[in-house]
């Protein structure tokens, strides 16, 4: 590490908290702040970080002093941020999160997972396969792994003694071009934070920076065009790829399929998770793990936080509440489709994670959701989550629900969480339904999902 002490501004974010824990595990002094933190009522992330010896502060500038060798920020931190200004006044070097991650990855045999959807799940699968097969990998990712949470960890970072490091490479801020991994995986290219042409340019650079093996999803033209060697790629349409998935079946809360003719069972839902698993198997094969051994690990994969996560099941009425991180059009549609295999009615509730993202994707979101909703399904869209900072609020969520309703589908704008909870409770059928809660950024969405389950379980 270049420095021996770091202060993270915005440490509660998944990417920042993962880096902070990793750096702390390497013996550095680490502290951080977040506007979500409080001196009186401590958030779960604050408690978890403090248990690891990471001092946490409210974001008002008092945590930073000249004893820190570097201050780490993400692209979400604005120039007027009080702590950024204080760091500059004190002459403390300010580095971006992506720069620190790039430095860390340069000193390991790195596997980097990229794409607009599925990164966290695939990263977790790769880590679990390598870990289960004795390679002692380290991990820096965007979502907590259930297996690590069960060990009392936050779950989005892990340091071990092996030479492999598995990271989630984010394209949203363009920082993906900073990485030079040994093995890279590109899952998909879809208009999300950036236009498709801009994304392809970023991923081309990511490919060119890859030191050994670049693996792509052959099912999509945009990724297929970036392929370097088809024998390393994966897919479900063309049998000449190196890792071919076929015979997909979802049976309740598990999926079954074949990888090059070998049966694979995973305790997850959704066809998209077959693609994620194929990607993980392909990457781990390049790291020396056989297909059969990778499949054996995936059969006991515990999943990750807020990715098709079952909150609760009301068995006598076949009512299930699922919490999911889906936040772009293709992810929302995929989550709905996965739940449709579980019940005749899906009550899908989407929390937009910012005015900018909603403005960018509103038309595609309406189109994608309209295309998958069945007659008995519902789509609720709520108020936009606002995390602070400078923002243009010139877009309304009901623009999406109205477009979907114009297509003859059940879609409503439900407002705040309290109103949304009431609407879900009064609209959900008495039996045979899935309630799907979707969204990003808001740290209290999982609490909301649990509240939905509690309210539904006490009815009738």
Could you report the per-residue pLDDT of 230-265, keeping only the tens digit for each? 999 999 999 999 999 999 999 999 999 999 999 999
In b/e form, how buried is each residue of 403-436, taking b as 16+ CB within 10 angstroms?
A: bbbeeebbbbbbbebeebbebbbebbeeeebbbb
Non-local CB neighbours of 106 within 8 Å, separated by 6+ positions = 180
| CA–CA separation, 185 and 215 (whole Å) | 5
pLDDT above 70 (res 192): no
Question: What is the arithmetic mean of pLDDT over 321-325?
Answer: 96
Give pLDDT, residue 40. Answer: 76
pLDDT above 90 (res 197): no
User: What does the domain layout of the chain look like in residue ranges?
Assistant: 5-96, 108-298, 309-457
Give pLDDT, residue 14. Answer: 87
Q: Confidence class of residue 38 from pLDDT cuts 50, 70 and 90?
A: confident
Could you report the per-residue pLDDT of 281-314, keeping only the tens digit for each? 999 999 999 999 999 999 999 999 988 899 999 9
User: Distance of CA 382 to CAs 119, 291, 354, Å?
Assistant: 26, 43, 11
Give pLDDT, residue 209. Answer: 97
Give pLDDT, residue 173. Answer: 74
Q: Confidence class of residue 401 from pLDDT cuts 50, 70 and 90?
A: very high
Could you report the per-residue pLDDT of 413-455, keeping only the tens digit for each? 999 999 999 999 999 999 999 999 999 989 889 999 999 999 9
User: Which of 303, 292, 294 minimizes the C-alpha distance to 129?
Assistant: 294
pTM (2 d.p.): 0.91
Report how far Cα 360 is from the mean position of its chain's Cα atoms.
Answer: 19
| 8 A C-beta contact, residue 245 and residue 274 | yes
CATH of 309-457, one of 3.40.50.720, 3.90.190.20, 3.90.420.10, 3.90.1170.50: 3.90.190.20
> What is the CATH number assigned to the segment(s) 108-298?
3.40.1190.10
Give pLDDT, residue 194. Answer: 62
CATH 3.40.50.720 fits 5-96, yes or no: yes
């Amino acid at each position: 590490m270049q420095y021996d002490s770091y202060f993270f501004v915005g440490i509660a974010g998944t990417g920042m908290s993962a880096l902070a824990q990793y750096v702390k595990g390497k013996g550095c002094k680490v502290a951080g702040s977040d506007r979500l933190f409080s001196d009186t009522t401590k958030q779960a992330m604050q408690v978890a970080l403090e248990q690891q010896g990471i001092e946490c502060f409210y974001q008002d500038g008092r945590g930073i002093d000249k004893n820190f060798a570097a201050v780490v920020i993400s692209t979400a931190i604005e120039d007027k941020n009080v702590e950024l200004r204080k760091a500059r006044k004190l002459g403390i070097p300010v580095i971006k999160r992506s720069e620190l991650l790039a430095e860390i990855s340069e000193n390991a045999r790195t596997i980097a997972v990229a794409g607009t959807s599925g990164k966290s799940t695939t990263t977790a699968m790769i880590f679990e396969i390598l870990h289960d097969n004795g390679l002692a990998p380290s991990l820096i990712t965007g979502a907590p792994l259930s297996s690590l949470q069960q060990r009392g960890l936050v779950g989005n970072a892990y340091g071990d003694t092996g030479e492999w490091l598995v990271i989630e490479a984010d394209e949203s801020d363009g920082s993906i071009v900073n990485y030079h991994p040994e093995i890279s995986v590109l899952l998909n290219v879809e208009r999300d934070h950036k236009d498709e042409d801009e994304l392809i340019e970023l991923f081309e650079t990511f490919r060119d920076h890859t030191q050994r093996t670049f693996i792509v999803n052959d099912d999509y033209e945009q990724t297929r065009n970036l392929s370097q060697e088809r024998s390393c790629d994966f897919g479900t349409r063309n049998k000449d790829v190196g890792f071919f998935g076929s015979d997909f079946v979802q049976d309740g809360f598990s999926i079954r399929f074949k990888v090059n003719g070998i049966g694979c069972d995973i305790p997850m839902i959704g066809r998209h998770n077959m693609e994620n698993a194929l990607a993980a198997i392909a990457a781990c094969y390049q790291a020396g793990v056989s297909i059969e051994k990778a499949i054996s690990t995936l059969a006991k994969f515990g999943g990750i936080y807020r990715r098709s996560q079952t909150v609760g099941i009301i068995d006598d009425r076949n009512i299930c509440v699922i919490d999911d991180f889906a936040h772009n059009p293709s992810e929302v549609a995929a989550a709905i489709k996965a739940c449709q295999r579980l019940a005749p009615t899906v009550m899908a509730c989407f929390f937009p994670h910012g005015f900018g993202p909603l403005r960018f994707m509103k038309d595609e979101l309406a189109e994608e959701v309209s295309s998958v909703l069945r007659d008995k399904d519902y789509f609720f869209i709520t108020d936009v989550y606002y995390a602070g900072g400078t923002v243009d609020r010139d877009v309304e969520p009901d623009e999406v629900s109205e477009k979907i309703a114009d297509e003859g589908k059940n879609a409503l704008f439900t407002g705040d969480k309290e109103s949304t909870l009431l609407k879900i409770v009064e609209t959900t059928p008495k039996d045979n339904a899935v309630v799907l809660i979707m969204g990003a950024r808001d740290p209290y969405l999982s609490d909301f999902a649990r509240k939905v389950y509690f309210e539904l379980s006490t009815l009738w």
